[in-house]
Structure 1
Amino acid sequence: MKKILYIPLDERPCNYVYPQHLVNTRNDVQLIFPPREILGNKKEAADVDRLWEFVFANASKVEGIVLSVETLVYGGLLPSRLHHLSNNDREKRMAMFRQLRALSKVTPIYASCLIMRTPKFNTSDEEPDYYELYGRKLFRRAYLQDKKQRVGLDEQEANELTQANDYIPKTCINDYESRRRFNVRVTLHLLELVDEGVIDFLSIPQDDSSIFGYTASDQEIVYSRIVEKRLQSKVLVYPGADEAGCTLITRMLNKLLDRKPSIYYFYSSTIAPTIVPLHEDRPMNESVKAHLLASGCEVASMPEAADFILAINAPGKFMEEAVNQTTKDITYSSFRQLGFFVEQIQKWVQSGKPVVIADSAFANGGDQELTQYLDDYQILEHLLSFKGWNTNCNTLGTSIAAGVFGFDRQNQSEIKKHVLYHILDDVFYQSQVRKRITDELLPALNANYFDLNDQDHVVEQEIQQQIMEAYKGMIKKSFRNMVISELKVYTPWSRMFEIGLELNIINE
């Protein structure tokens, strides 16, 4: 039994539960992770000292270590955007990584550290309070400044930049930028640790990235240092965030099993490889390459030579949000052919080849038309994985991870359960139920998308009921031998963006 020590990015299901889903599909690996009570709660930072105690107490009991720097330095993802740590705090916490290496001299240590995001909208749900008033302007100001330096601005853009500089209080700009500089220094310090051999592999995902702006500027600083120190084989920078734990656990599994799984991937549309997804800064195909490298896999030139198939459902020409798919652009039909895509999947499934579907046609939810196709072709319960949540790279990273953990089918019942989990969450909740409840129920509860007004139980019950109604309404030919005996919904941050599911299945 291979044991992996894991410190998650935060306490949400995507970071705390999804990695457990992975290991549950195998019989030869165990995840050692901290109890929920010492992790944080949204903007409330985790107990960093206790987490390091947990790491040191378990380091000698495992064959591999996977760490989130956000959690072990700042106390979690959101605290990394809100902290007021001093330089002494930073040095003290960074020294812990060297202490861990001294304790675990030969144990591989993998870590992830995000380039801090810059949302394009006004909300303080995950950002400092002033982001409620100035978030969009902060994003645009940095976007235009970076664009001005790199390619230049037209007259309208130059005027917008001047207005943003006049509109945003200097105190807000200084607070935001000082924290970003601090966080970049942490990342540069991590590169020193990689160079010294303290950390064996470092992933640097970019959360909510854009072609220009703060994230791009920070990436340029970080990547220049990577090149300067010739660390390209030990450090990868790419879009993502909440899939990072699954990706590094997957890389660790491959390391411990001394293998490099081979993956054949294909898309549902012709120009998909060149499409830049929403919330990301590069074409889809570049992200596929990065995630395959980060997870310790290689590309198969032919499907017959692959350990599993990665089928990527993509937009036809450009990506839209999942909630808008009932009025989606015509290019979702004219620039892609779902029937051909699904028949290819069916062919491989019937031949016994494991297939993983990364449903990246829309942002923030699964493709309902694809789900109907898969149900009609009776493919769903024969998939190795189906995921279509949040961003393209969130979906992509967890899909590759599920394929790597499951392609030898050690625990088929858990694999099927997790396919069903993501059908319920990604396709029905994220694409349908979430907006309907936000629009119709929350106003009556004096609640909103970001604050359920202590009505979590009422909202959770309604979500649960509507998910089941949607499931029974769409899924007609699949999972006939699987009965959902219990479905419990919970809202980990008392908001609508994400849910967790407790799902019990009876196999008839």
Structure 2
Amino acid sequence: MKTKIVLLPLDERPCNYLFPQKLFLHDDIDIVLPEKLGDKKIPAGLKEIDSFLTKECKDATGLVISLDTLLYGGLVPSRIHNETEDKLKERLHILKDIRKANPKLIIYAFNIIMRCPSYSSSDEEPDYYEEYGREIHEIGAAMHKSHLGMENTLPLDEIIEKVPEKYLNDYISRRKVNKALNLASLELVKENIVDALVVPQDDSCKYGYAAIDQRDIRKAIIKNCLEDKVLMYPGADEVELTLISRMINTLKGRKPKIYLKYATEAAKSIIPLYEGNMLSGTLKYHVLSAGCQLTEAYEMADIIMAVTAPAGNMEEAINQPSKYPEYYAERNIAEMFDFIKDRLSEGKIVTIADNAYANGGDLQIVRFLNANNLLMEVDGYAGWNTSANTVGTAIAEAVDAYHFGTTERHQNFLGLRYIEDLGFCSMIRQKVVERLPEYGMNYFDVRDKEGKISELVKAELEEFIKNELSSISNNLKILKLIMPWRRMFEVDIDVKYIK
């Protein structure tokens, strides 16, 4: 009989809606999703969500649920809604009803701390963020530093004058409501309605509004002695993979041991781009959140995770190869791969968290794997978006291989990671963006999900497979490619690996 896991995703993007099934759907594991969610700023239907949860959770073994989708209809809607705190708190009662109807259900939830980007763009934020986003971020950072007795480059009063009062009030009031719901979700854990909760820090910085919220929520976690049940760390779009990993580990009664192999020990103390915490601490949270355990001895490990992060400041993938010694001198890639090859020969599960750069993988890594015919010998690879997104995905791939082996679905997902993370994110995205003016388009608007741009991206990726993945190019096929949010940031690809 199949184990049924109900999933309410963070939104309809492939990383949230499709990745969990692509990786974890097996003969004995069924992952059930809503038929439809929202569309970027258009929220999912809340009545439809309630009906879905009520129906599917009655006979399920587990539930992984995004509280942002339950409350607001999705991630982006959580940043632009106008709901009251009281009305949103009422929506949390559905979890109590679900628990009452199925007392044995394992419920893992996550509720993201609202981000405050350091740039001006209304693509995923309120309309006024297009003009005042950077200033709103700077106000938060200055306020936080003032609380800590630190000096800021510009006086707080001077920065506040740059943002119209009505916009700043709207932003702050929404943050206040969202934080209240973050805190309310802790009560669900205290009451044993939710078994475990993750509070991810989405696109976070060391100082600012999001960091202030993190501080206050962390205080509440500590005050209520919930440190073992509520984990807060950088991440967002990988959390579903992490919590399904935890669910499977829990159901199978296993806690895989993971050994971390850094390309440079100095990487442990860096703060990755779009994150506010040191890498070593974040990695510990990700391992724990996935229901795994760190080990200091590789001989004792079930899983080896290679970490490619640099020795200093992280750069964007489109700037590679880096000119800085933190990348080419401090990282010992040769030694790391010598270690990987030996562990593979011993039959260890090996996964690569390629967080050398942000928003794309390290081409040096894939070229070494390709030259040594190791692309499909490793059990996992990820190198997309933030370091946290990458780390969580790489761990999930390893957990899948640990329990189910390198199945056909697993290899399809691994092939997808090379094509998307290295091909699209690191190489093809920027190349196509430069051509968009020819078609009267821009980064945030390519008009259609399936059209000229999706065709162009697919053709470029097929060239990437031929040139950069030559050792498996005859085995790897792109079956479908669309632009799900009609912009250039993400892509939806179906990949088939044929042995």
Greater relative contact order structure (CA < 8 Å, 6+ sep): 1
Match for residue 187 of structure 1 among 179, 182, 186: 182
Residues 1:177 and 2:172 aligned together = yes
Q: Which of 154, 159, 163 pairs up with 1:158?
A: 154
- 2:287 alignment counterpart: 292
2:82 maps to which residue? 84
Residues of 2 paired with 1:87 and 1:280: CA distance?
28
Of residues 254-263 and 239-248 in structure 1, the stretch that sits farther from structure 2 once superposed is: 254-263
1:471 to 444, 449, 465: 465
* 2:484 equivalent to 1:483: no
SS in structure 1 opposite 2:419? helix
- Encode CA deviations 1:378-419: one digit per residue, 9 max, x unaligned: 211101111100000001111111111112443432222222
Deviation at 1:456, TM superposition (A): 4.7
1:356-390 Cα distance to aligned partner (Å, 9 max, x none) = 00100000000001111111222111011111000
CA contact (8 A) 1:464 1:487 kept: no
The answer to whether the Cα contact below 8 Å between 1:316 and 1:334 also exists between their aligned partners in 2 is: no
1:403 aligns with 2:398: yes
Q: So what's the TM-score if we normalise by structure 2? A: 0.97
- Separation in 2, partners of 1:419, 1:100: 35
Shift of 1:471: 2.0
Cα deviation digits, residues 71-112 of structure 1 (max 9, x gap)? 001000000001011234213201112111111212111100
Structure 1 residues 248 and 417, CA gap change in structure 2 (3 angstroms): same
CA RMSD for the aligned pairs?
1.4
Q: 1:330 aligns to what?
A: 325
Look up the match of 1:102: 100
Q: Secondary structure at the match of 1:289?
A: helix
C-alpha change, 1:408 and 1:185, in structure 2 (3 Å) is closer
Alignment match, 1:10: 11
Counterpart of 2:136 (choices 138, 143, 149) is: 138
Contact 2:415 2:476 in 1 (8 A): no
Matched, 1:21 2:22: yes
Structure 1 position 327, deviation (Å): 4.5
Deviations 1:169-226 (A, max 9, x none): 0111100010000001111111111101111100000001011000110011111111
Distance in 2, matches of 1:9 and 1:139, equals 24
Aligned to 2:265, the other structure's residue is in SS state: coil
Q: Which moved more, 1:349-358 or 1:86-95?
A: 86-95
Moved more, 200-209 or 15-24: 15-24
Partners of 2:368 and 2:125 in 1: how far apart? 39
Partners of 2:95 and 2:445 lie apart in 1 by: 37
Deviation at 1:242, TM superposition (A): 0.3
| Corresponding letter in the other structure for 2:33 | F
1:352 matched to 2:350? The reply is: no
Shift in Å at residue 330 of structure 1?
Answer: 3.1
Which stretch shows the higher mean deviation, 198-207 or 161-170? 161-170
Letter in structure 1 aligned against 2:84: S
Q: Name which of 194, 200, 203 aligns with 2:198.
A: 203
Question: Whole-Å Cα distance in 2 between the matches of residues 287 and 305 of structure 1?
Answer: 22
Q: Which shifted more, 348-357 or 213-222?
A: 348-357
8 Å contact 1:2–1:256 — kept in the other structure? no
CA drift of 1:304 comes to: 2.1
**Separation (CA, whole Å) in 1 of partners of 2:382 and 2:279:** 16
SS in 1 for 2:115: coil
Q: How many residues align?
A: 498
Q: What are the ranges of 5 or more consecutive residues in structure 1 without an aligned counterpart?
A: none
Report percent identity of matched pairs.
Answer: 37
Partner residue in 2 for 1:34: 34
Compared with structure 1, are the counterparts of its residues 498 and 294 closer, same or farther at alpha carbon in structure 2 (3 Å cutoff)?
same
User: Structure 2: how far apart are the matches of 1:266 and 1:34?
Assistant: 38
Letter in 1 for 2:476: I
Cα distance in 1 for partners of 2:497, 2:332 equals 34
Give TM-score scaled by structure 1 length: 0.95
Q: Supply the AA of the counterpart residue of 1:484.
A: L
The residue type paired with residue 446 of structure 1 is G
2 CA distance for matches of 1:294 and 1:377? 33
Q: Which residue of 1 aligns with 2:445?
A: 451
Shift of the 336–411 alpha-carbon distance from structure 1 to 2, 3 Å rule, reads closer
Confirm or deny that 1:268 pairs with 2:263.
yes
Contact persistence 1:27–1:411 (CA under 8 A): no
Distance 1:19 1:245, change over 3 A: same
Q: Secondary structure at the match of 1:501?
A: strand
Which structure 2 segments of 5+ residues have no match?
none
Once residues 478 and 189 of structure 2 are traced to their aligned partners in structure 1, the CA distance between those partners, rounded to angstroms, is 46
Could you give the per-residue CA deviations for residues 306-354 of structure 1, whole angstroms, max 9, x where no partner exists? Answer: 1111111111322100000134423211111111111111111122111
2 CA distance for matches of 1:56 and 1:251? 23
